[in-house]
Amino acid sequence: MEWRHICVDMQRMFAEETPWHVPWMETILPQIEELAGRHAQRTVFTRFVPPEHPAALPGTWRAYYSKWWMMTGEYLPREMVNVVPCLNKLIPPARHFDKHVYSPWFDGRLHSTLCREQVSTLVISGGETDVCVMATVFGAIDLGYRTIILKDAVCSGTDQTHDASLELLGNRFSVQLELMDTEEFLASAG
């Protein structure tokens, strides 16, 4: 099995005190550190990168960034898009992949890279379960990857939507994805 660990948006702008702060990231960080530390060469960190100005993106993204203007490149220090320091030190051999929307599949670059590497399985961690993780999972399923969500290594801003997302994914997509604890995956990955 050729697999990659896709760690979704474990960035400073979500880990630190910003309007998008996700306090629960701290709780899942040890599991992600363990997996990424053991398998850095198989880890791809996605980074959600806001535009410089709201007008830089089309359609409803303009309204989104008009609301969240303080999170645009004009105001947010650029280093805040970096992966949290304990994970950032793994790059390289780990890689990072920048995206400007929730899904890392939108422009085809990530899928092309994984196809060249003959990857068939994706192991998903990171945040937020009900936004970027879900977009990553849906795209992985649509593209035919065996998809594993590490349920103790994903988080959200609210417990209710996190729990509902895992329930939805586990029940509705049980043929196309697996929910697993990090320790269980690491034991199977060797």
pLDDT exceeds cutoff 90 at 80: yes
C-alpha distances (whole Å) from 109 to each of 56, 137, 145, 168, 174 are: 20, 16, 15, 28, 27
| Digit-coded pLDDT (tens) for 85-102 | 999 999 999 999 999 999
Tens-place pLDDT, residues 144-177: 999 999 999 999 988 899 889 989 999 999 899 9
Domain that holds residue 54: 3-189
- Total domains in the chain come to 1
Q: What is the b/e burial string over 176-190, where b = at least 16 CB atoms within 10 angstroms of the residue's CB? A: bbbbbebeebbeebe
pTM listed for this prediction: 0.95
Q: What is the CATH number of the domain that holds 100?
A: 3.40.50.850
Residue 189, pLDDT above cutoff 90:
no
pLDDT at 134: 95
The percentage of the chain sitting over the pLDDT mark of 70, rounded to a whole number, equals: 99
pLDDT at residue 190 greater than cutoff 80? no
